[in-house]
Structure formats: structure tokens, C-alpha cells
Structure 1
């Protein structure tokens, strides 16, 4: 079994390879790809920044990393955006102190502090799954930092009793058997059956990301999802342009929840992507990229 340090080195190599591949073929330097680390609120945080132009900060879900957006960064950067992805503390290549493995408030404060250190006063901020509640928390505390909001396969409702126990079970399983034990539980919901059968490399890619998390992060993230506040009241306060992206076959937070968000956020747009499950942003990246760019152009977010 590989140690956490070995897994981090493996993911670092994977990230470097992905960036190198994306910038190959004469495009090196065109989008200004850079990855690095920043010390934020006691954590050592990894980020990737690609492109120049209007900043777009994308927040990953549980228990993934910024590499969830590996198929989005270049396409969005090519259209004139500076796309920034971060690994929440304890996920991907980021590490966290034992005293604060993560909470909703900490994740939100980390993201805002990363924006500060990267000289990003305002950004289009997007959150996938757990990234949605983080974005809501950021909006409640600092709405002036938002140029726009993208909600991806996420939810504003608090967790039901059934869902609370599901996340508690995830935490217990990670504690007992390690982060890799969560992959089989999650992949069946992240990707459609068709993708898992016909594009097995996609499942392998996401599985490897899941394995990078620390046990403490898996427990902290599960607790965030189980105890998240009711953000329905927050929806009515959102005044920035908002896009909601939903996989038609998402069984974690089905389309009904996205429709409810769209109905409660004034002027928001809902795009449902056929043939996609919970990780629609990765599984159907081309459709998701097109939805983001069409929406952003319609609001002159450039």
C-alpha cells in the first residue's frame, strides 16, 4: 500500500503530465498555465491557474480535487478566462493541520484567502457538489467577491436524516479502511453505467483522485455535507448572474433540486446535460464547457 506522501508525488506527476499535454503542440505559454502552493489559514494549499482574463474559480466536490476540472480549464481559458482550481485542504495535493482538517467555514475562508493571494478581487465562482455549499457560504460572507455563480450538480437544501447517515457512513468507512475504500461507493454515482463500461479510463482517473485524500479530510468533508445549513434562504439574496448545471442521471442530487434552485435564484439559468451523472462537469465536459461559455457571453462576463 502506498503512503500518503507517495500518493501525493504520484498526483503531482499526473498534474504535471496533464498540464504538459494540454500545453503541447505549439500552445505553450498561450494560456499561462501555472500550478503551485500557497500557505493559507494554516494549510498548504495546491492550485492550478490557466489563462488570462476574467477570473473563474472552480471548487471541487467530495472527496475529489481540482483535477476534476482537468477537462475544463484549457477550453475555458481559450475563451478568455483565467481558470483557477484549488484542492481543498486535505484533498489532492493540499495538506491541513491536524487541528483543523476542514469545515464549511474553513473551506470558504480558504477559497477567499486563495483569491487574495492570487490577486483576484472578484471572480466567477463555481462549485460542484460539496463546492456548492462552500460557494453559498462564501456568498453569505463576501457577496462582493462574485462576478457570477456556477452551481454544478449541487444542492441548497440541508441534508435529510437519510443523507446525514450516508455521509456518516462514508466517514466511518474511510476511517476504518482508508480513502481508497470510498471509490467503489462513489463512482457508481459519479459516472453513468455507460461511461463506466465504455470509458473505463474515466473511472480510473476519478478513482485515483479519490485515493489522494487524507482520512481526516474524508471525515471532515463528510461532516460538512451531513451538517450543511439550509441555503434556500440564501438563494433569494443572490443578485449575480447564476448558471446551474445538472447531469440528467445524477442520483446524488437529482435534477429536481437544481430546478428548485433555479426557481429561487432570480434570473438564473438551468442547463441539464443528458447522459451525465453526478460528475457531469467531467463526464460530459464539452457540453458543460459550452453551457458555461454560452451563459457567460450572454451576461458579458468577459
Structure 2
């Protein structure tokens, strides 16, 4: 169910209510998973469904399991959902001499598509996955049939944000990946969810702990030094969906609104009761938004 707040020729802003039947997690097509050796790294991937390819890129310092509640429903709706763990995160590994940077993450993701024989895909990026998706678009726009931007940002990091990510890297180096969880979970999930659904916080905490120290440092550096992608927004010509948690304090709705204003014909969906990990916290609403948008643009097979 959705409530339309504003609609013009170039703006479609929706506030979605939860639809429990779309939460995902069971009943969808069987998933396949494996590892791909590319660019010196060993990348873990999961592929589910046989429809329109949809590559989802996780944020810092998570893994493809961020999308565990999305795969079934999106695959059942007509997508081939592909999730990967960036090098050094989740089950993926990386060589010591190349733990990752923005160009490498983008190269890895494009190589995954190549090895899985996917010529074009809807590509979605959450948080750090957004800058990776922008870099992929700059390198290979022909590989995109659509774009989904999830609680992310096109602006370069401010001085304050740069210091925050440098602090994350230092903390991971001193105390290990598990030390980042308390710093991050409070922003990924709303206070209501943390109190009433502690299993959600436990699940995301477990993912955070899987990352290597080198990956935590590399990812933090990517976020601190990311380029200005505002000029890139004006070059995007594929259907674009922007998903935003209303209570996201990392990259608040104002940043998503700015992206929507700069991507011609893009659609903005704001999800109430969701923070930075809206795609997981309010998976039902996110799934419905993606399916409705894909149908509107005839992207589903």
C-alpha cells in the first residue's frame, strides 16, 4: 500500500506502508551461491531467480546478507537477484596488497557480471554501494538497464565526515571489526527496531564482525575520499529509483532529494520507520517499491 505525497512530470515521492507479505525470506526460487576468482580476490556471490538481472551492492562494513530479506520476494517477482560480498567482507577475501578502493570495488562488480554472463543489469547500491555504482556507471554505462540508490549519497565527504570514517578505520585497526558494531548499528536501525526487534541488531552485528580489518580500513577510506558524483547524476539516462529511510541519520532524506532533482525522471521513495539500513529494516516496503518501480518502467521479464 502506498500514499502519494507529491507527483509532477519529474518527481514521484512515495511514503510506503509496510506490507508483511513482501518481507521475503521464504518461498522464493532456490538460490545458488559460489565464489569467483577475479582481480586477485575471491568474491562470494548469491544468485536467485531467472528474470531481469538485479545486482545489489552492500554498504560499509556489511555483506550481501544485508539483502537476505529481499532476495526471495524480488526473485519471485521476476528478477534474477545477484548479491556479492565486496572483497574482504562477508565470505570474500582479498590479497594483502589490494584490500580494496573505489575503482577496484567497481571493477570487481563489473567482473562478476561478466563471469555470470550478464550483459545488462539493474544495479543497486546501498550506502557505500552508491559511490561504487556511480563509478561503475562512469566506466560502463552500457551495462545498466536501471539504477537503484539506497540510503546513499552523491556528494563528496565533508571535513567532519572524513574525520568520522578515519576514526572508524583507526578503531578497527586497534580493536578489531567487532568494535565497529556499536558505532554503526545505532544508525542502521531506528531506536524502535533496536528495542522491539533485537534479533535485527544481532543479525547486522554478526555481519559487521565478518569483515577483515584491512577491508574495514579500505572501505572507510573509500567513504572518506569518494569523489563528487553530482556531475555524474546529470549523465544518468536509465530508469532510477532512490530509496531512503525517513529516519536515516547517516545520509538523511535531503541528500536523496538532491539526487532526485539531478537525475532526470528519477523516482524517490521515502520509507517511514526506517533508518540507514532501510532495505533490511523495512524490507516489505523496500521490496514493494522496487517491484512497483520496475513494473512502471517495464524492467521485469
Same-fold call, TM cutoff 0.5: yes
Name the SS of the counterpart of 1:158 in structure 2: coil
Partner residue of 2:127 out of 126, 129, 138:
129
* 1:236-270 Cα deviation digits (max 9, x unpaired): 00000000000000000000000000000000000
Match of 1:144 in 2: 142
| More strand as a share of residues | 2
CA distance in 1, matches of 2:79, 2:260: 25
Secondary structure at the counterpart of residue 49 of structure 1: strand
Please say if residues 88 and 107 of structure 1, whose CA atoms lie closer than 8 Å, have aligned partners that are also in contact.
Answer: yes
Paired with 1:31 and 1:299, the residues of 2 have a C-alpha distance of 23
Q: Secondary structure at the match of 2:69?
A: coil
Q: Within 2, Cα distance between the matches of 1:146 and 1:85?
A: 16
The answer for the alignment partner of 1:118 in structure 2 is 116
Query: Which protein is richer in helix relative to its size?
Result: 1
Q: Distance in 2 between matches of 1:41 and 1:79?
A: 33
| Corresponding position of 2:252 | 254
Counterpart for residue 294 of structure 1: 292
Name the counterpart of 1:207: 205
1:44 corresponds in structure 2 to: 42
What's the offset of the Cα at 1:94?
0.1
Q: Does 1:163 align with 2:161?
A: yes
Q: CA deviation at 1:22?
A: 4.8
Give, in whole Å, the separation in 2 of the partners of 1:22 and 1:239. Answer: 33
Matching of residue 275 in structure 1 with residue 273 in structure 2? yes
Task: For CA contacts below 8 A with separation 6 or more, give which structure has more relative contact order.
Answer: 2
Q: Per-residue displacement from partner, 1:113-137 (whole Å, max 9, x unpaired)? A: 0000011110000000000000000
Q: How far apart are 1:167 and its partner, in Å?
A: 0.1
Q: Equivalents in 1 of 2:25, 2:155: separation in Å?
A: 37
- Structure 1 segments, 4+ long, off by >3 Å, are none
Q: Give 3-state SS (helix, strand or coil) of 2:113's partner.
A: helix
In structure 1, runs of 5+ residues without a counterpart are 1-20
Determine the C-alpha separation between the residues in 2 that align with 1:115 and 1:229. 24
Q: Return the alpha-carbon distance in structure 2 between the equivalents of residues 22 and 52 of structure 1.
A: 17
Q: 1:233 maps to which residue?
A: 231
TM-score, normalising length: structure 2: 0.91
The yes-or-no answer on 1:179 pairing with 2:211 is no
Alignment of 1:15-26 (within 5 A): 22=25
TM-score by length of 1: 0.91
Helix, strand or coil for the counterpart of 1:99? coil
Aligned-partner Cα distance in 2 for 1:173–1:146:
36
Q: Is the partner of 1:38 in helix, strand or coil? A: strand
Tell me by how many angstroms 1:33 deviates. Answer: 1.1
Residue of structure 2 equivalent to 1:244: 242
Unpaired runs of at least 5, structure 2: 1-23
- 1:32 Cα offset (Å): 3.8
- Report if aligned partners of 1:35, 1:48 keep a CA contact under 8 Å in 2: yes
Structure 1 position 180, deviation (Å): 0.1
2:227 counterpart SS class: coil
Matched residue pairs, number? 277
Describe the SS at the equivalent of 2:45.
strand
CA contact (8 A) 1:32 1:52 kept: no
Q: CA deviation digits over 1:76-96, x for unaligned, max 9?
A: 000011000000000000000
Structure 2 partner of 1:85: 83
SS at match of 2:122: strand
